[in-house]
């Protein structure tokens, strides 16, 4: 059962997907289906993408279980959910992969952004990675995911509305202004090389949260030239390597790419970037989105962004 139900208070869609209850569990299913020889994936692959076995969205969705009405419209859960396997090696981490391999992964993301975005009815292509038990990962093999939504998700709507208002008011790009602000201040900068900037935002919602942003104004991976995508790959390797150096263990994070919708609109005021959400705040402490964050959308960060940026800056320098 999978369907979209309208949330009239937040004015967005909620994906109801009971099939996800059947996903394999780390502690129960010991044989990795993502490893060569499993019969699930090719015996010889470098980067491999395939449809999620437990999709929330599908190109041929079933009819909804309930009819819906004027107050609570219901729609089929149309779209696509893909898994991207970063490597056939089960224990390798993203920063341990060679730069040219990560560059091919970025090229793969760009290709799937174009191809999925061209599907009729797909309004937003969301490329992301959940890493670690702390964020609910059920398979440890290095992988990410791509969701092709039939709508623009709410957080993206909010960010893009803010960027549109800023352009209308100032004539400038909000993200470009944010990058310039952080470079001028300097205290939260983590990395700056080959046209890619990484910093802990002054309004960071998570410990060690960073934004990864191309300096050139562009809306999506498809607007980057090969050199820029290579520079992005290098930056991703640097920051994920720094994360893993923080506490000497694989560091949990959520990596989320924010880029142009694919709904046919024009968004010249939008600026591609990656947001890393990082729940680990100390070797033995996690940040949880509890009542304030969830019930009121009032975020509390238990750490000081300037201090966390200094830690990451030194670790990136050592990579």
Residues carrying an active site annotation: 143
Output the CA angle 147-179-110, nearest 5 degrees.
Answer: 30
Task: Give CA–CA dist 140/137, Å, rounded.
Answer: 7
CA distance 235 to 229: 10
Task: State the Cα angle at 145 between 15 and 256, rounded to 5°.
Answer: 85
Which residue(s) pair with 80 in the sheet? 148
- What b-and-e string marks burial along 271-298, b requiring 16 or more CB atoms within 10 Å of the CB? bbbbbbbbbbbeeeeebeeeeeeeeeee
Q: For residues 256 and 148, what is the distance between their CA atoms, to the nearest angstrom? A: 14
Total Cβ atoms within 10 A of residue 203: 10
Q: Which helix (H) or strand (E) holds 228?
A: helix 226-246
Question: For the chain, what is the radius of gyration of the CA atoms?
Answer: 20
């Amino acid at each position: 059962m999978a369907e979209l139900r309208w949330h009239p208070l937040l004015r967005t869609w909620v994906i109801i997907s009971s099939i996800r209850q059947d996903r394999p569990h780390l502690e129960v299913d010991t044989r990795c289906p993502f490893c060569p020889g499993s019969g699930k994936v090719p015996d010889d692959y470098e980067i491999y993408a395939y449809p999620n076995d437990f999709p929330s969205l599908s190109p041929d969705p079933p009819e909804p279980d309930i009819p819906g009405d004027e107050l609570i419209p219901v729609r089929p859960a149309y779209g696509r959910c893909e898994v991207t396997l970063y490597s056939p090696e089960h224990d390798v981490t993203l920063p341990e992969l060679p730069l040219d391999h990560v560059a091919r992964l970025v090229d793969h993301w760009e290709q799937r952004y174009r191809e999925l975005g061209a599907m009729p009815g797909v309004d937003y292509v969301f490329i992301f990675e959940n890493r670690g038990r702390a964020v609910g990962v059920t398979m440890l093999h290095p992988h990410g995911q791509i969701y092709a939504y039939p709508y623009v998700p709410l957080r993206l709507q909010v960010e893009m509305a803010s960027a549109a208002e800023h352009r209308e008011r100032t004539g400038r790009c909000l993200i470009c202004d944010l990058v310039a602000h952080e470079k001028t201040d300097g205290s939260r900068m983590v990395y700056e090389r080959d046209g890619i900037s990484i910093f802990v935002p002054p309004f960071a919602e998570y410990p060690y949260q960073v934004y990864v942003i191309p300096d050139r104004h562009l809306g999506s991976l498809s607007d980057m030239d090969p050199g820029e995508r290579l520079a992005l790959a290098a930056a991703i390797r640097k920051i994920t390597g720094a994360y893993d150096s923080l506490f000497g263990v694989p560091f949990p994070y959520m990596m989320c790419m924010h880029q142009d919708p694919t709904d046919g609109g024009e968004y010249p005021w939008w600026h591609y970037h990656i947001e890393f959400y990082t729940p680990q705040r100390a070797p033995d402490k996690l940040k949880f989105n509890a009542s304030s964050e969830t019930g009121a959308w009032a975020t509390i960060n238990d750490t000081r962004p300037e201090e966390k940026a200094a830690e990451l800056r030194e670790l990136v320098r050592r990579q």
